[in-house]
Structure 1
Amino acid sequence: MNLQLMSLHAALSNWYAGFELSAANTYDALVKEEIERDQKLTDYYNKEMAGGKWDGMMLSPHACFVTWNDEGWHYPQTEAICINTKSRMMVHAENEEGFVSEGTTALPEFTEIGGETYEIDLANAGAVSYDFAVLEEEGICVSCKEGTVASDIVTLQVSIGRKEHESFERTLTITGAGQKVNVTVRFTAAVDAPEGTFIERDGVVSIEAGHFAEKENFEGYEFEELKEYGKTLSSMKVYPSDRNFDEIGKAPCLTYRVYVKEAGVYMLKSITAPTNNLEDGRTMRYAVQVNDGEIKVGDTIPKENYNIGGGPWEKKSWSMGVLNNSHYGITGHDLKAGYNEIHVYGVDAGLVLQKLVLYRSGLPESYLGPQESPQA
């Protein structure tokens, strides 16, 4: 736990330091305390526990490896920063890349179905504390409307009132230290869609593989859920796993329901376990059909640059799959505005589906992918 806190606090300290926030020094001090605690724990294990029976067993480095062995290891690196002698309000809206001191920022999209709560962080880029005030328009609920920010981060929770049933875009205004920041709040009312439909939020529909609407078996083969296997929830795999389905579309199938605001071409990112095909010369394919459209074949292993073992002289497909604990394929599809159905077919034996992410453009990169979308 101490090592985890050390790394997390170091990351926060360095991030806050990039915006010259006084909180950077708070977390820098915590990191130094945790490094000292780690050294004391190591000394206790070697010199005191069991009368020193295990002396030397815990002398090996155990933090911040930069390669497969301990060469170049180090404790997390942070530095105290010089703080402005005055106060300066800094505002961070959830999912935004950084803090702002003036102008406009935005929270992620709220939905009536999802009932989301998002956070706004208030920080100080100065040594003198300041008072803040929050003015929200009708329908916006804030956990705290006034207070004081010193050297720590003050977090506000924002939600939408239960009486709101019409979509809107409104503003929440935060003032402090002589500054003003407007936060855009977008709310989408419930849509008319069948039960189990995933609703677009912020231009993305994210679906856990196990949350399918329908499942169709084929000649004794079917998708089965592997509970708690995967990076976020579970996985779906065809069993028995002793057959390929090379006649595309003639295979076990999973159906997912989605609702999008606009018609157009969408990309579907299918995230799978980092599995390799057991047959020489084959990759890991699957097939996707939207509504009654063309069936598209996706592949999680790009043949042209996939080399098991990798190395600095090889392309990164295999090594990144190992580091990210996942492979993925992308297919493009035409969707109509409103309700659509996505059908996922098995092709190559052994493929393990974990998540589907539907988007139009500009999908941000993240280790776990977007949080699952709200469901009707």
Structure 2
Amino acid sequence: MRGFVEADGYVALEAVSAQALGSTGNASWQEIPFHGRTQSSMSAMSKNIDQSIQNYKDAPYLEYDLFLFNQGAVEIQTLVAPSLNFVPTRGLRFAIGFDDEEPIMVDVLENSKQNDWQESVKNGVRYAVSHHNVKQPGAHKLRIYMVDIGVVIQKVIVNTGGLKKSYLGPEQSMWVD
């Protein structure tokens, strides 16, 4: 058993706790110390101001080792820093997936309403939710792939069925080596 261990029906990860960081010559994930509700944030950065990565296999990524006791449907809540829709035709996207599965594209601004900006600034976060199917208990890798620059991730919570609602979310899960 190695990784962040599921307990009480969830795994909580600080974005900065990735075990692997993939990058390309022009793009990477970079830490923003002391940014966000808890520890730090990870920001999708690029030398090209309007870069969008179409093929996730070529994208910079954040990778987390997890150990899950549950299988089946899981919900991932990705806590993202507030942002305006600065490229209205595109949104603000990242992709996320377990192991070798095809990652799910998530648009942080997809269902935004007029008052969402005010709420996200007041709360210091937007919630981006994706749904996945974990085929078996055990060791897994969770990857978050850069798609658009400007995404700033604070925390990731994998809910396997026991997550309780709270303002800051649970503390980071225990790491076992």
TM norm structure 2:
0.90
Counterpart residue number, 1:200: 6
Which whole-Å CA distance do the structure 2 matches of 1:247 and 1:216 have between them? 14
Alignment partner of 2:137 out of 337, 340, 349: 337
Cα shift readout 1:210-253 (whole Å, capped 9, x = no counterpart): 00011111233111111111110000012226212133443111
Q: Check conservation: 2:10, 2:161, Cα contact below 8 A.
A: no
**Superposition pairs of residues 297-376 of structure 1, within 5 angstroms:** 297-303=105-111, 305-307=112-114, 310=115, 317-335=116-134, 336-361=136-161, 363-376=163-176
Q: Check conservation: 2:11, 2:158, Cα contact below 8 A.
A: yes
Q: Check conservation: 1:221, 1:239, Cα contact below 8 A.
A: yes
Which whole-Å CA distance do the structure 1 matches of 2:92 and 2:161 have between them? 25
Q: CA deviation at 1:278?
A: 1.9
Q: Check conservation: 1:288, 1:296, Cα contact below 8 A.
A: yes
Q: Check conservation: 1:204, 1:359, Cα contact below 8 A.
A: yes
Counterpart residue number, 2:16: 210
Counterparts in 2 of 1:288 and 1:281: CA distance versus 1, 3 Å: same
Residue 333 of structure 1 aligns with an amino acid whose one-letter code is H
Residue 23 of structure 2 aligns with an amino acid whose one-letter code is N
Which whole-Å CA distance do the structure 2 matches of 1:300 and 1:199 have between them? 27
Cα shift readout 1:33-65 (whole Å, capped 9, x = no counterpart): xxxxxxxxxxxxxxxxxxxxxxxxxxxxxxxxx
Counterparts in 2 of 1:227 and 1:272: CA distance versus 1, 3 Å: same
Counterpart residue number, 1:255: 63
Q: Check conservation: 1:299, 1:328, Cα contact below 8 A.
A: no
Alignment partner of 1:237 out of 21, 37, 43: 43
Q: Check conservation: 1:277, 1:349, Cα contact below 8 A.
A: no
Which whole-Å CA distance do the structure 1 matches of 2:80 and 2:91 have between them? 13
3-state DSSP of counterpart to 2:58: coil
TM norm structure 1:
0.44
Gapped runs of 5+ residues in structure 1?
Answer: 1-192, 311-316
Cα shift readout 1:280-314 (whole Å, capped 9, x = no counterpart): 333111101200112101122133x422xx3xxxx
Which whole-Å CA distance do the structure 2 matches of 1:205 and 1:271 have between them? 14
Q: Check conservation: 1:267, 1:333, Cα contact below 8 A.
A: yes
Q: CA deviation at 1:364?
A: 2.4
Which has the greater radius of gyration?
1
Which whole-Å CA distance do the structure 2 matches of 1:260 and 1:372 have between them? 15
Higher relative CO (CA 8 A, sep ≥ 6), structure 1 or 2?
2
Counterparts in 2 of 1:198 and 1:362: CA distance versus 1, 3 Å: closer
Query: For this pair of structures, how many residues does the alignment match?
Result: 173
Which whole-Å CA distance do the structure 1 matches of 2:90 and 2:105 have between them? 14
Counterpart residue number, 2:28: 222
